[in-house]
Structure 1
Amino acid sequence: MAGVEPRSVWPATHARGDDGAMSVGGIDVRDLAREHGTPLFVVDENDLRSRARAFATHFADAFAAHGATCDVYYASKALLASRIAAWMHEDGLGIDVASGGELELALRGGMPADRITLHGNNKSDAELTRALEAGVGHIVVDSMTEIEVLSGLAQALGRTAPVLVRVTTGVHAGGHEYIATSHEDQKFGLSLASGAALEALGAAHAAPGLELRGIHTHIGSQILSVEAFRESAERMLGLRAAFAAQSGVELPEVDLGGGYAIAYTDGAEALDPAVAAREIADAVAAALATAGGSWPAMSIEPGRAIAGPAGITVYEVGVVKRVALDDGGERQYVAVDGGMSDNPRTIMYGAEYSAELAGRVSHSPAVLSRVVGKHCESGDIVVRDVELPADTARGDLLAVAATGAYGRSMASNYNAILRPPVVAVGDGAAQVLIRRETLDDLLSWDVAPG
């Protein structure tokens, strides 16, 4: 498959010392665990930022070969802190946000408002108002209702809202049903097939207070096939041409979203951004040749592909026990001090991960194991199937790879568990991006009786 290759699941600076201890960013994970506790999200700053710059460079170069431009917006839902927003700005990316909270974090990090895109299928009046007041670069409208509401708010504030219309193209891509976002029967966007997207473009163009800038789509996540992006580009540029024929207006912008796959397990495949950039640029050029019109300003929105491979989670092992299987075999259950509260993807999507002992070397044979959490749920599984040493024991450190995306950002306080911190490492130094929650934090939300 073009653009796909096996990848290591560990961050670029991942290494093992003579005693078998893992280090990231030049720091021994044992030292990180002692200083910051466990569970702990560790982000390789250099890896994350180099991935961001690679996307920006590859896509800019690939589209420049056609005399066009392509901007990269970091999808902040993958992992966001104000420092990450600052890095993205420094490295030439914009940022897309999907809530008022994400918007505030992006602004706090110094991301210029005009480099921010606000998404969401059900934005509140308060979120839309804040976006208008801040002067965000794009608001992606998701329904006819939102077009009407945003028009009213913009007029009341005396502002003009720059909008993209989110289009459901019908291109099916990605893995689990819940991360495929372009089939018809789902909550996002306006259908191309039914004519709703074209109708929404007309409404947005006519609505006072709105400046219709273009169209947006997102076809899914964990996409390994560039063919899906090619088909999506064809349909989007066909829609653009249809609207131009209807209205006489050629939309200046097209956003093809993100969804670039990463490797979660050793030997798994990932979409190579350099190859994907060239092939997607060529696909857009071919689609434009068919649909007609001038080149629009293009943009994409990778998040997971930037943050995911750059992060690991470090846990401390608690209980280890053996369980007999129906086939006469045995499974080793390794319980850690986190679980579904810091990584719900396994229980939500059946996600698979790689895990290794992080604090020492073991010469014991590897045995079939399952890494589980401490929550009061039998489905509280972190890694469903992995080979771990038979002598794995209480007090060991365990690292789970490729958890930079959707771990901390989807974390919860289920069972009143405190959410872990995020620590960035690089060149032998560490900095806290998000501090660990405390019991005082937890109790401060509770309204005591009396």
Structure 2
Amino acid sequence: MGLTGARPGGGVSGATADAAVLRGEGTPTTADDRPPHCAPPMPALVSAVEQRLIDDPQLLGDIAEAVGGPFHVLFPDRVAVNVTRFQAAFATAGVDGFVYFGKKANKAACVARVCAEHGAGIDVASTGELVAALAQGVRGEDLMVTGPAKSDELLWLAARHRALIAIDAIDELDRLAELRLPARILLRVLPDGSTSRFGLDPVELEQAVRTVAADGPITLSGFSFHLSGYDTVARADQAVTLVGHCLRARADGHPADTISIGGGFGVDYLDADAWSRFQNDLSDNWFHGESPTGGYYPYNFPVPGADMLTAILAHNDLAGLLRGNGIQLAVEPGRALLDQAGSSVFRVQGVKTRTAHGEPYDILTVDGTSLSLSEQWFASEYLPDPVPWPPRSGHRTPTCVGATTCLESDLLSRRRIPLPRRARVGDLLIYPNTAGYQMDSNESPFHELPLPPKVVLREAGDRLRWSMDAR
């Protein structure tokens, strides 16, 4: 399940070649031979199983013919690898830890099933997500229920299944108490200086702790927080604060043996050189129409995923503090458990040629929408380059990718991407590593188009076998 390419320190890199070179086509695009209206190559870091799929001369075509329209491919075995890496980080640090998959990042049934099979829980925020997790074998006690202003139905179901409920407001705690059911809760803390609309401020937090009777049906199991961004030091420092809350709650008779630091574990989509080049050389000339205004996800992380958890545990010996006080650390990664776990595939339906700054470029129209590549709907751009399939020789062609709707702004890729060859009608276009948030976070049946189905791909010896996802 490794990635193509390697860099010092055991990581992965595609800096030496674009996606075409990884498949043995063409030559790398350099700053010298790339026209000024064309973006630099941004080759995705690709797992071994995904590369097998790209290289297979027939399988993608067979799937496309069978399902019709755009589709997503999921690699559940990769989710298992990612779960195990987080669990190994806890074990190496000697910390009692538990991994909850942030289900909002992907709805696929096969992902929930992997969590059930590999000792991970699921973070859910609706009755639908809770029921879907239970249906795939995740035990109620392995669910974390988050989100603001939870409905009475969600609170009732969560309590009935002994899920851990992250309380976000005083009135939510009051409504839970009115159910008169045994329930396990964390109190979500508003971090100092945060302007978030979520969490309990110091006054509310003190009131909530007083509200929970030590001998009542509601058990105060601990505290949680969520932070924006990817700062390991800030997360470690806030975790120390939560340990203090636990110790004070214990003095009042509560078990308070768990803290959750939420998600926000970075994912490496691109090698460091490609990401740096994009940031340093970014030009409005690279885009069809207006360039994105919403900013970009940090597509390269020096310390991503489970390594980020290791760094958090090491800061000021947070691991030792947790061990010494018998406190379990929960994490709620979404995207990081889906790294290299899926791709999105579209069929080219039309090709037009336009010019910019006196240079030609192609605009493709594919059979899906940017709702299936959701960064676009945040006024941003999904940066890893798509890969045309089947592999053919040809000349690099600056290419934008438009969607099938009648909206001018509906483009999957505004950038003029240096595709390794000119795409043709009937070709497939593969966007790698889209399982984390991209592939279904914002999908809707716009124009009454059906939602792209999910195909599950597994390695079976020298073959790749596929089936439809259960959801």
Q: TM-score range by the shorter chain?
A: 0.7 to 0.9
Poorly superposed stretches of 4+, deviation over 6 Å: none
Aligned partner of 1:283 in structure 2 is 315
Q: Which residue of 1 aligns with 2:170?
A: 144
C-alpha separation in 2, matches of 1:88 and 1:56: 12
Match of 2:387 in 1: 357
Determine if contact 1:148/1:207 at 8 Å carries over to the other structure: no
What residue identity is the alignment partner of 2:106?
A: L
1:135-188 Cα shifts (integer Å, max 9, x gaps): 2330111111101111101x1xxx211001112224xxxxxxxxxxxx733332
Task: Give yes or no for the alignment of 1:60 onto 2:91.
Answer: yes
**Residue pairs, 1:29-428, within 5 angstroms:** 29-62=60-93, 64=94, 68-133=95-160, 135-153=161-179, 155=180, 159-170=181-192, 184-191=194-201, 194-205=202-213, 208-220=216-228, 223=230, 225-241=231-247, 243=249, 247=252, 249=254, 251-265=256-270, 267=272, 268-270=299-301, 271-283=303-315, 285-286=317-318, 294-325=325-356, 327-348=357-378, 350-385=380-415, 386-389=417-420, 391-406=422-437, 407-427=439-459, 428=464
Q: Partners in 1 of 2:360 and 2:270 — Cα distance? A: 22
Q: Which amino acid aligns with 2:327?
A: P
User: What is the distance in 2 between the residues matched to 1:282 and 1:361?
Assistant: 45
The 8 Å contact of residues 220 and 258 in structure 1, kept in 2 or not, is answered as no
SS at match of 2:398: strand
SS in 2 for 1:162: strand
Distance of 1:61 and 1:161 partners within structure 2:
32
With normalisation by structure 2, the TM-score equals: 0.77
Question: Aligned equivalents of 2:58 and 2:235: distance in 1?
Answer: 39
Partner SS state of residue 9, structure 1:
coil
Is the 8 Å Cα contact of residues 220 and 254 (structure 2) preserved in structure 1? no
Structure 1 residues 75 and 12: alpha-carbon distance in aligned structure 2, compared to 1, 3 A threshold: farther
- Label 1:206 to 1:362 Cα distance change in 2 as closer, same or farther (>3 A): same
Conserved in 1, the CA contact under 8 Å of 2:76 and 2:110? no
CA separation of 1:317/1:150 partners in 2, compared to 1, >3 Å: closer, same or farther?
A: same
Secondary structure of 1:430 counterpart: strand
Cα deviation, 1:65-85, whole Å, max 9, x if unaligned, reads: xxx301111111111333332
Deviation (angstroms), 1:232: 2.6
Question: Number of residue pairs matched?
Answer: 400
| 1:294-326 Cα deviation digits (max 9, x unpaired) | 13111111121112421100100112223333x
Letter in 1 for 2:263: G
Q: Counterpart of 1:125 in structure 2: which amino acid?
A: D
Secondary structure in 1 matching 2:91: helix
Counterpart for residue 467 of structure 2: 431
Q: Give the aligned partner of residue 439 of structure 1.
A: none
TM-score normalized with structure 1 length = 0.80
Distance 2:470 2:370 in 1: 19
Tell me which residue corresponds to 1:173: none
Unaligned 5+ segments in structure 1 are: 171-182, 436-450
CA RMSD of aligned residues (A): 2.9
Could you tell me how far 1:92 is from its partner in structure 2?
1.4
State the SS of the aligned residue for 1:355. Answer: coil
Q: Tell me, what secondary structure is at the counterpart of 2:333?
A: coil
**Shift in CA distance, 203/333, structure 1 to aligned 2, threshold 3 Å:** farther
The CA distance in 2 between the partners of 1:292 and 1:14, in whole Å, is 39
**Deviation for aligned residue 1:390:** 5.1
Deviates more, 1:369-378 or 1:194-203: 194-203
Q: Distance in 2 between matches of 1:249 and 1:341?
A: 45
Q: What 5-or-longer segments of structure 2 have no aligned partner?
A: 1-8, 14-43, 273-298
Q: CA deviation at 1:205?
A: 4.8
Q: Tell me if the contact between 1:22 and 1:29 (Cα under 8 Å) persists in the aligned partners.
A: no
Q: Which moved more, 1:389-398 or 1:347-356?
A: 347-356
- Rounded Cα–Cα distance in structure 2 between residues aligned with 1:202 and 1:146: 15
